[in-house]
Structure 1
Amino acid sequence: MRILVCGGSGGIGSACVAALTTAGHQVHAVDRDGPDGVDITEPGGAEKAVAQAVDTFQGRLDGVVHAVGRSGRRLGDGPVSTCSDEAWRDVHRVNLDSVFWLLRAALPVLRQNDGGGSVVVVGSALARTLDRDFLTAAYLTSKSAVETLVRAAAFEGAPDGVRVNVVAPGLVETPMAARALTDPAIAARLPELMPLGDGRASTPAAVAAAVEWLLSPSSSQVTGAVLPADGGWSLR
């Protein structure tokens, strides 16, 4: 398969690139901080990323991964009563608008394929669970909205064989999660939050394995789904 990975320099994105390459797929990775400087969180960036991938793969694109995300705590994200306007706007632009722009750019390309294609968006277990230590209004609503957007795209793409799904991790060992993972109070709660991890956060590689499965023919009947790859976070 020929796959575009957006956010390919990030913690989960780079793990996706590695997993997909190891599995024998051709990968075109873009990132705001990468050599191409493609930023899908800005208008026009998603179209540029898809066009680059189609050109790289000589006219065909089989799969797309959205692995771009942002925490807005430093901008004032928090409970509804205190969440700042800046955090609300910025987090939604990165976590939700960019998914919309990428789906809008990729769906017409994938629908042209004989056999369709697959899109996987990295979401969050927080989209469906509330917790006192992770009550961030902008982040929670952006990730929840992504799930509905993905279902709408899956419904649209299904007649042409295009599948669209979400992988929803809990805490993952990435720079974005460093604040939480270095907080002694949250670290002490990890056995409760992620019981399958036995007190440890997930690795990017574990999330990437779930992404690779959803892109592969092994998941050919799965679309519009949210796959929890969260170490049991969503069981609470």
Structure 2
Amino acid sequence: MNQPVVLITGALTGIGRATAIAFAREGNRVVISGRREEAGQALAAELRTLGAEAEFLRADVRFEAEVRSVVEQTVERFGRIDVAVNNAGTEGQSALIVEQSSANYEDTFAVNVLGVLLSIKHEMRAMLAQGSGSIINLSSVAGQVGVAGASVYVASKHAVEGLTKSAALEGAAAGVRVNAVAPGPVATEMLDRFVGGSEEGKAGFIATIPARRAATPEEIAQTIVFLASDKARYLTGQSIAVDGGYTAQ
């Protein structure tokens, strides 16, 4: 068996789910992770109908023992990890900075920053041992610009960008690439929550996008698949904005 082994955290909805399906359709062996057992097993079964070997491993990325276990079980099952997509994330609570709470900071950073750090830590250990690998972190345009009313989320995604660059420098000479994908608005439940469930708010946000629409999860997934491939084998330490022109303004 020489099909690449792909591990995806936060794989049960939105971009993570679309990414799992995209890799499965290309014949990869796919390990999906998330916190909901029933949904995870259902998605793994769906991936198998596409002809892929697929496994679900339950994990909460806030806890190192669970992250380590997922990586170790993946290596034990398939012998290696060729691609890791660190997608688990939360939008946290939107509020003006003068109204932000330490609880929201702790909750948001536990998933978006600590979860990515722990994932990179254990994925990179496995990849360094095998002498190759590609890690792709999910950032956001909020990791490249400021967004009024979302300071904690913005700060967490800026941290993901920093982790990506630093990890890329540590892995480059050993053949391990680390990049980030930074989506603009994507047609997911997270976008609905981010704008407070308001169709007016969503329309107003999308109106700021030069492309005048949100991305589909599948469009983000295809960028991730490209970054993971040998077609991008000299690309590391970068954050690719997939944002309909938002950060070009």
Count of aligned pairs between the two proteins? 227
2:170 equivalent to 1:156: yes
How far apart in 2 are the matches of 1:67 and 1:178?
18
How far apart in 2 are the matches of 1:141 and 1:53?
31
- Given the alignment, which residue of 91, 116, 121 partners 2:108? 91
- Given the alignment, which residue of 66, 73, 77 partners 1:52? 73
Task: Confirm or deny: 8 A CA contact 2:136 2:228 kept in the other structure.
Answer: yes
CA RMSD of aligned residues (A): 1.6
Please name the residue that 2:135 is paired with. 119
Q: Give the gaps of 5 or more residues in structure 2.
A: 42-56
Task: Confirm or deny: 8 A CA contact 2:138 2:182 kept in the other structure.
Answer: yes
Give SS of 1:110's match: helix
Task: Confirm or deny: 8 A CA contact 2:185 2:206 kept in the other structure.
Answer: no
- List aligned pairs for 1:188-203, cutoff 5 A: 188-196=203-211, 198=212, 200-203=213-216
Amino acid at match of 2:217: P
- Alpha-carbon shift at residue 147 of structure 1 (Å): 0.5
Change (3 A) 1:78 1:51: same
Amino acid at match of 1:87: N
Identity of aligned residues (%): 30
Amino acid at match of 1:110: M
Give SS of 1:222's match: coil
- Given the alignment, which residue of 72, 76, 86 partners 1:66? 86
* Over 4 Å off, 4+ runs: none
Give SS of 1:193's match: coil
Give SS of 1:81's match: helix
Give SS of 1:210's match: helix
Task: Confirm or deny: 8 A CA contact 1:123 1:146 kept in the other structure.
Answer: yes
> Which has the larger displacement, 100-109 or 171-180?
171-180
Give SS of 2:99's match: coil
Give SS of 1:44's match: helix
So what's the TM-score if we normalise by structure 2?
0.86
How far apart in 2 are the matches of 1:15 and 1:188?
23
> Which has the larger displacement, 155-164 or 226-235?
226-235
- Alpha-carbon shift at residue 160 of structure 1 (Å): 0.5
Please name the residue that 1:110 is paired with. 127
How far apart in 2 are the matches of 1:10 and 1:163?
25
Q: Give the gaps of 5 or more residues in structure 1.
A: none
How far apart in 2 are the matches of 1:188 and 1:105?
40
Amino acid at match of 2:210: P
2:246 equivalent to 1:226: no
Change (3 A) 1:130 1:185: farther
- Given the alignment, which residue of 197, 202, 207 partners 1:187? 202
> Which has the larger displacement, 163-172 or 181-190?
181-190
Give SS of 1:195's match: coil
- Alpha-carbon shift at residue 182 of structure 1 (Å): 4.5
Provide, for residues 110-150 of structure 1, a one-character-per-residue CA deviation record: whole Å limited to 9, x for no partner: 01224x11000111101122244xx2121110000110111
How far apart in 2 are the matches of 1:181 and 1:172?
15
Please name the residue that 1:178 is paired with. 192
Please name the residue that 1:29 is paired with. 32
Give SS of 2:6's match: strand
